[in-house]
Structure 1
Amino acid sequence: MRPDPVSSGAFAAALFAPDLPPPEGLTGRQQFAPQRRFAVYRNNVTVSLVDALASIFPTVQNLVGEDFFRAMARLYVTAHPPTSPLLFTYGESFPTFLENFPPAADLPFLADVARIERLWLDAYHAADAEPLDPAALAQVSADDLPAILFRPHPATRVSRLTHAAGTICLRDRSGQSLEGVNPMAPEAVLITRPNFEVAIEVLPSGGATFFEALLAGETLGEACLAASAEDADIPALIGLSLTSGAFSKIDLTQESDRS
């Protein structure tokens, strides 16, 4: 009599719980023990997910060391199995996991570094679009400038952080030393993908407010007004909005026409 087939739920539960025995009902070639083959498969799946996390969070791994990272990642994989067949979507909750991982408590900036690396990957996989031509603004009359609407590039992300994660990621990914970096300094970061290469920009004072306003659909005039309350360099921020690749087009729609 053939044993009942293993349910997908029982198989998945045992796959990501190394303390559980293999599910009942496993079958295989007579010369191989199915339990042994399952153990090998379980280890291979875990290793592949740990490798995926290492590729998504290379700076986190460099900060803690490979051995520590892989041990930590194994615990994450066990607690947070993937919910999608697309590996690049894995690890979205990894920053929160790091915030609550006691062995990493002496590196409080680690979670913010992971957030930047996760946003980097999201920007990398975002839809394609032509970046805004910087010359576009020169064709707008001075009277119409305050009412301009900027249309975001699909890859654009802005993040406010309580640590210097943007600077840490920039230096680490370019092979520069982290000497002199104060990891506890708050930063705001703009992530874009001009010309198909993801870029990280640490924003100056008022930068996050300025870009968040434009990304939310507010006019250039409204964004400038909001950022000016933080002593922002408005001309520099406008220049960055044109050259960073954060936007794909501008609309000359008057403010009264917005819905």
Structure 2
Amino acid sequence: MTEQHSFRAPLLDADRAIPEGLTDGLGRPAGARYNVYRNNVAVSLTEALETGFPAIAKLIGPDNFRAVAARYLRAAPPTSPLMMHYGAGFPEFLKTVEPLAHLGYLPDVARLELALRRSFHAADHTPADPALLQDVDDDALMSCRMALAPSAHLLRSPWPIVSIWAFNMRPGSAKPQARPEDALILRAEFDPEPLVTPEGGAAFVTALIRGESFGSAMTAAGDSFDVGVMLNLLFTHRAIAGISFEDTP
């Protein structure tokens, strides 16, 4: 074990002994200072998780969240000095917390919150002009390809994750109904918005993300898909970053 590891390992685990031989600048024992530093690190990382996953903190309560966070800190130390990246593995970690197993929707709600954060920090883009689709014949439309904005994210879930998130984060939101919801996260301006995709919308967006043609995406969406509703949603939220046609150089 390296000296660096022996110093860092106990930082996130209060059950571990303070490293031996620590001294301050005057050569005095620095165990008390290490304890203060250790506490500050744990508090900072817990606060970063609370900031990144506020709906999860509200769903399980502050005491439970801090207990779960303490376990996560030990299992997943930070790999970047940028706290906006901390917690990337938190949704998967929640699946391993046995006392929370009866709340099966928690990992997917955490995935939604993580996607909201990533959308917020995603690169800006210039949205495509919907006028590009005017006066386009059917063959050209079916063969064109649409690129989504870097801030756009799609999450498919068997749980009503958007409704659960909204019920906990937006006063006055309707109580979630027991049904699946596919979440489309779009950022028209500065703040990302989680939206429930219309029927067939998730399959349509998935096909676009894969680089498939507009026609292939329509086929994937199914017969009940309302393409007008979907396009209005995407263009209104400035989610189309580019439209290319086969004859475009």
TM-score (norm 2): 0.92
Gap change, CA 1:178 and 1:28, over 3 Å in 2: farther
Pair 1:19-2:12 in alignment? no
Q: Which runs of 4+ in 1 moved over 6 A?
A: none
- Judge conservation of contact 1:134–1:243 (CA < 8 Å) in 2: no
Question: What is the alpha-carbon root mean square deviation over aligned residues?
Answer: 2.1
Match of 2:54?
A: 58
Q: Distance in 2 between matches of 1:163 and 1:62?
A: 18
- Judge conservation of contact 1:61–1:69 (CA < 8 Å) in 2: yes
Match of 1:253?
A: 246
Equivalent AA in structure 2 for residue 64 of structure 1: I
Pair 1:194-2:169 in alignment? no
The SS at the match of 2:112 is helix
Match of 2:134?
A: 138
Equivalent AA in structure 1 for residue 118 of structure 2: D
How far off its partner does 1:139 sit?
5.1
Match of 2:68?
A: 72
Question: Which of 228, 239, 245 lines up with 2:222 in the alignment?
Answer: 228
Match of 1:3?
A: none
Q: Distance in 2 between matches of 1:176 and 1:55?
A: 22
The SS at the match of 2:154 is strand
Q: What are the residue-to-residue correspondences of 1:1-259 with 2, within 5 Å?
A: 7-30=3-26, 33-138=29-134, 140-177=136-173, 179=175, 181-182=176-177, 184-229=178-223, 231-254=224-247
How far off its partner does 1:35 sit?
0.7
- Judge conservation of contact 1:190–1:203 (CA < 8 Å) in 2: yes
How far off its partner does 1:29 sit?
4.5
Q: Distance in 2 between matches of 1:185 and 1:39?
A: 47
Q: Distance in 1 between matches of 2:192 and 2:3?
A: 42
Moved more, 159-168 or 6-15: 6-15
How far off its partner does 1:20 sit?
1.4
- Judge conservation of contact 2:145–2:211 (CA < 8 Å) in 1: yes
Equivalent AA in structure 2 for residue 243 of structure 1: T
Equivalent AA in structure 2 for residue 240 of structure 1: L
Equivalent AA in structure 2 for residue 169 of structure 1: W
TM-score (norm 1): 0.88
Equivalent AA in structure 1 for residue 237 of structure 2: S
Where in structure 2 are there 5+ consecutive unaligned residues? none
Equivalent AA in structure 1 for residue 186 of structure 2: T
How far off its partner does 1:174 sit?
2.1
How many percent identity over aligned positions?
Answer: 38
Moved more, 194-203 or 6-15: 6-15
Q: Distance in 2 between matches of 1:26 and 1:32?
A: 8
How far off its partner does 1:92 sit?
1.1
The SS at the match of 2:156 is strand
